[in-house]
């Protein structure tokens, strides 16, 4: 089964929670747990596994058009068919060019052209790597090519690495509430929302709840950095019957561990207990 | 007129808290929330909305099953895997996967597919106690966030010219994808907010590469610098090596959350606190630059 970890607001602790769940669930399910970092713009999960061994890396490309000006009649049918304004053609100047930043790689222009003037070429989208870690079934990382605006297309590709033979696949989602998040949670059986008890955290949390309700995903909540801010989040959860999976207390010492990339050493007892309780709640919900 | 865009790569580094503080220090500025996906600046600036505009949230194909001959051409052609076979055995469009490219509509031999344009995104022009603000709200799960950022930045520039404003302050999105790219294109400078963590620096480095490709000048603030002073030194070393001027360091403080709870910027909430004085110095450096 797939469990996505999402948040709305950035910096609430998605990565920390994903990496910790990978650790504690691996103990519970005999290492049959996989983690996929779907935050392809800023993938961070592997920073916490300095000993991880990269097994495979593959480059991913999108197919975009290149215009052969010897064959192009400058008829502009491809311009008409492109919904993303990615092609410019000026007949008088014999000018024909593709703006690859705007191209969504939908393929419409190839179908539009009757003169065989478009050649498919490969535009780098990013890479997908498999890593073996000391515990668990491994971590998959998607890493967007810097300058590409096609993060959603890469996420779709990264998620194909989900291994259905594992007991659980964790999907660490990007922040926000738009298409990249929808793409990440689309196949998930359950979503864990990580929030913080601050006004910004609550505001973005509400938008994410709206989204999950619209796409009819079951979800539960982890309140991270508990102790900061106020109680408004708990009142909201109660008023809306949203299950609270657990609270992870804010600890400056743990924040320091995080800053060094060390999440599995010297875990404060309160934090470790919080995860054990979250996992038993989670197990009773997903079974 | 200078347009300053606050970015960080990593979320939660403190972009909005710093944007709000600068908003309360900048005389004669226009504010623009480029984080259209999870906008928060309005929670502090409390805008009084004067204009509301609908905005294109992308097109969506719909297959009219009663007209469909089930030839399979659309499903085959869709590069976004947005068309699936439904329980009745007919092709159906998953609205969350559809990019609105209209290829299926164009290829359908019997005209059974029609695409509609949606207007589920909105943008606003508002008054705030600090000046004019342009901001947006996306429909949940909607598309076109990059275009929406471009649109509100255009409007902010137009208003800045009308008001003869000296500055536009953009509160940017996390990440380096479409909204970040739309926030960087053509801005005067990027104010990079870094937290001294392995992920904070990793994400900032990817952002710096992106900003450099647009040849936009960058200057940096290290936020929560006392969380890890050793790593702060590593971050400073990186900035130095990359000729990115460091214009300030801000300590971790619960005062940021506390002022947020009072719907105030930290500078308003605790004007005489050392962090406020620190932020004032930062603003002076930005405005003199």
Residue A10 and residue B12: Cβ atoms within 8 Å? yes
Annotated domain spans of chain A: 2-49+133-286, 61-124
User: Taking residues B174-180, what's their average pLDDT?
Assistant: 95
**In the numeric block, which tokens belong to residue A130?**
């498999």
Task: Give A46 to chain B, closest Cα distance, Å.
Answer: 10
Measured distance CA(B242)–CA(A237) in Å, rounded = 45
Task: Give A44 to chain B, closest Cα distance, Å.
Answer: 6
pLDDT at A106: 96
Measured distance CA(B281)–CA(B289) in Å, rounded = 12
Please tell me which of the candidates B80, B103, B227 has its beta carbon nearest to residue A111: B103
Share of chain B above pLDDT 90, in %: 94
Measured distance CA(A215)–CA(B106) in Å, rounded = 28
**pLDDT-based confidence at B288, cuts 50/70/90?**
confident
Q: For B43-60, give one letter per residue: b (16+ CB within 10 A) or e.
A: bbbebeeeeeeebbbbbb
Domain A61-124, CATH among 3.40.640.10, 3.40.50.150, 3.40.50.720, 3.30.70.20: 3.30.70.20
pLDDT at B96: 87
Cβ atoms of A260 and B198 closer than 8 Å: yes
* Helix-then-strand count for chain B, H and E: 11, 13
pLDDT at A265 over 90: no
pLDDT at B141: 83
Measured distance CA(A34)–CA(A22) in Å, rounded = 7
Going by their DSSP bridges, the two strands B83-85 and B91-93 should be labelled as antiparallel
Task: Give A86 to chain B, closest Cα distance, Å.
Answer: 12
> What domains does chain B contain, in order, with CATH numbers?
2-56+131-288 (3.40.50.300), 59-117 (3.30.70.20)
The pLDDT tens digits for B222-274 are: 999 999 999 999 999 999 999 999 999 999 999 999 999 999 999 999 999 99
User: Taking residues A145-157, what's their average pLDDT?
Assistant: 94
Cβ atoms of B210 and B184 closer than 8 Å: yes
Cβ atoms of A106 and A157 closer than 8 Å: no
Question: Of all helices (H) and strands (E), which one includes residue B150?
Answer: helix B145-162
In whole angstroms, how far apart are CA A97 and each of A100, A102, A116, B137? 9, 12, 16, 34
DSSP for A177-219, written as a single string: SSHHHHHHHTT-SEEEEEE-SSHHHHHHHHHHHHHHHHTT--E
Beta strands in A32-133 (DSSP E): 33-37, 53-67, 87-90, 95-98, 118-132
Q: Residue count of chain B, please give it.
A: 289
Please tell me which of the candidates A105, A208, A258 has its beta carbon nearest to residue B197: A258
Q: Which residue has the tokens 């902010």?
A: B156
pLDDT at B270: 98
Question: Of all helices (H) and strands (E), which one includes residue B52?
Answer: strand B48-55
Question: Of all helices (H) and strands (E), which one includes residue A27?
Answer: helix A14-28
**pLDDT-based confidence at A174, cuts 50/70/90?**
very high
The answer to whether the complex's ipTM is over 0.90 is yes
Mean pLDDT of chain A: 95
The residues that bridge with B194 in the sheet, in sequence order, are B222
Cβ atoms of B122 and B97 closer than 8 Å: no
Please tell me which of the candidates A179, A214, A259 has its beta carbon nearest to residue B198: A259
Measured distance CA(A216)–CA(A32) in Å, rounded = 27
- Measured between beta carbons, the chain B residues lying within 8 angstroms of A105 are 79
**pLDDT-based confidence at A252, cuts 50/70/90?**
confident
Measured distance CA(B131)–CA(B47) in Å, rounded = 9
The pLDDT tens digits for B95-141 are: 988 999 999 999 999 999 999 998 999 999 999 999 999 999 998 88
pLDDT at B144: 80
pLDDT at B238: 98
Indicate the burial class of B254 (C-beta count within 10 angstroms; 0-12, 13-18, 19 or more).
Answer: exposed
Please tell me which of the candidates A111, A144, A183 has its beta carbon nearest to residue B176: A144
pLDDT at A287 over 80: no
Cα A183–chain centre separation: 8
The pLDDT tens digits for B196-226 are: 999 999 999 999 999 999 999 999 999 999 9
Q: What number of C-beta contacts closer than 8 Å exist between A and B?
A: 182
**In the numeric block, which tokens belong to residue A225?**
């950095």
In sequence order, which ranges of B168-248 are alpha helices (DSSP H)?
178-184, 198-213, 229-241
Share of chain B above pLDDT 70, in %: 100
Residue A107 and residue B141: Cβ atoms within 8 Å? no
Measured distance CA(A186)–CA(B81) in Å, rounded = 12
Compute φ and ψ for A233, nearest 5 degrees: -60, -40
Give the residue on B whose Cα is nearest the Cα of A126. Answer: B177
Compute φ and ψ for A125, nearest 5 degrees: -110, -30
Measured distance CA(B44)–CA(B17) in Å, rounded = 9
- Measured between beta carbons, the chain A residues lying within 8 angstroms of B16 are 200
Share of chain A above pLDDT 90, in %: 92
Q: Most A CBs within 10 Å: which of B55, B93, B101, B227, as the mutation test of the A interface?
A: B101
Measured distance CA(A88)–CA(A108) in Å, rounded = 15
Q: How far apart are the first and last CA of chain A?
A: 10
pLDDT at B52: 98
Higher pLDDT, A101 or B15: B15
User: Taking residues A17-33, what's their average pLDDT?
Assistant: 96
Give the residue on B whose Cα is nearest the Cα of A14. Answer: B11
Sign of the CA dihedral with A192 first, then A196, A200, and A206 last: positive
Sign of the CA dihedral with A182 first, then A187, A190, and A192 last: negative
Residue range A2-49+133-286 in CATH 3.40.50.300? yes
Residue A259 and residue B37: Cβ atoms within 8 Å? no
Are A2-49+133-286 and A61-124 equal in CATH topology?
Answer: no
pLDDT at A101: 84
Compute φ and ψ for B162, nearest 5 degrees: -60, -45
Residue B175 and residue A151: Cβ atoms within 8 Å? yes
User: Taking residues A198-214, what's their average pLDDT?
Assistant: 96
- Measured between beta carbons, the chain A residues lying within 8 angstroms of B180 are 41
């Amino acid at each position: 089964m797939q469990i996505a970890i999402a948040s709305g607001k950035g910096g609430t602790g998605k990565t920390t929670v994903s990496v910790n769940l990978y650790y504690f669930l691996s103990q519970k399910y005999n290492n049959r747990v996989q983690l996929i970092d779907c935050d392809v713009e800023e993938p961070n999960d592997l920073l916490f596994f300095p000993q991880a061994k990269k097994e495979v890396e593959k480059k991913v490309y999108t197919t975009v058009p290149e215009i052969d000006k010897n064959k192009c009649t400058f008829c502009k049918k491809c311009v008409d068919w492109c919904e993303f304004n990615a092609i410019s053609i000026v007949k008088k100047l014999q000018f024909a060019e593709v703006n690859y930043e705007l191209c969504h790689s939908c393929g419409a222009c190839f179908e539009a052209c009757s003169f065989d003037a478009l050649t498919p070429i490969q535009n780098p989208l990013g890479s997908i790597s498999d890593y073996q870690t000391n515990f668990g079934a491994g971590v998959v990382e998607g890493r967007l090519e810097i300058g590409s605006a096609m993060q959603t297309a890469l996420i779709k590709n990264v998620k194909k690495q989900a291994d259905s033979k594992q007991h659980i696949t964790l999907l660490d989602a990007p922040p926000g509430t738009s298409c990249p998040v929808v793409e990440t949670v689309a196949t998930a059986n359950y979503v864990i929302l990580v929030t913080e008890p601050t006004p910004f955290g609550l505001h973005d949390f509400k938008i994410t709840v709206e989204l999950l309700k619209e796409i009819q995903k079951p979800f539960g909540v982890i309140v991270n950095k508990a102790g900061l801010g106020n109680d408004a989040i708990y009142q909201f959860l109660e008023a809306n019957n949203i299950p609270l999976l657990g609270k992870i207390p804010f600890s400056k010492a743990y924040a320091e561990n995080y800053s060094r990339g060390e999440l599995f050493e010297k875990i404060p007892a309160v934090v470790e207990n919080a995860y054990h309780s979250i996992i038993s709640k989670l197990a009773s919900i997903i079974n | 007129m200078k347009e300053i865009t606050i970015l960080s790569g990593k979320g939660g580094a403190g972009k909005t808290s710093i944007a709000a503080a600068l908003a309360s220090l900048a005389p004669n500025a226009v504010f623009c929330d480029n984080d259209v996906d999870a906008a928060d600046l309005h929670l502090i600036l409390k805008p009084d909305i004067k204009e509301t505009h609908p905005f294109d949230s992308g097109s969506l194909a719909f297959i009219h099953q009663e007209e469909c001959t089930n030839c399979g051409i659309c499903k085959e052609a869709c590069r976004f895997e947005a068309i699936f076979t439904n329980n009745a055995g007919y092709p159906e469009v998953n609205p969350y996967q559809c990019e609105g490219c209209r290829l299926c509509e164009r290829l359908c031999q019997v005209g059974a597919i029609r695409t509609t344009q949606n207007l589920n995104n909105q943008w606003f022009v508002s008054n705030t106690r600090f000046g004019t603000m342009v901001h947006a709200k996306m429909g949940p799960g909607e598309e076109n966030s990059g275009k929406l950022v471009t649109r509100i930045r255009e409007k902010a520039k137009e208003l800045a010219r009308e008001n003869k404003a000296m500055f536009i302050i953009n509160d940017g999105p996390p990440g380096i994808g479409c909204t970040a790219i739309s926030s960087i294109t053509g801005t005067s400078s990027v104010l990079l907010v870094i937290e001294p963590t392995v992920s904070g620096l990793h994400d900032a480095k990817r952002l710096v590469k992106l900003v450099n490709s647009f040849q936009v000048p960058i200057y940096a603030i290290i936020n929560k610098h006392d969380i890890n002073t050793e790593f702060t030194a590593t971050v400073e070393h990186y900035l130095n090596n990359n000729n990115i001027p460091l214009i300030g360091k801000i300590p971790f403080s619960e005062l940021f959350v506390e002022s947020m709870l009072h719907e105030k910027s930290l500078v308003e909430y605790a004007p005489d606190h050392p962090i406020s004085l620190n932020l004032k110095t930062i603003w002076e450096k930005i405005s003199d630059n």
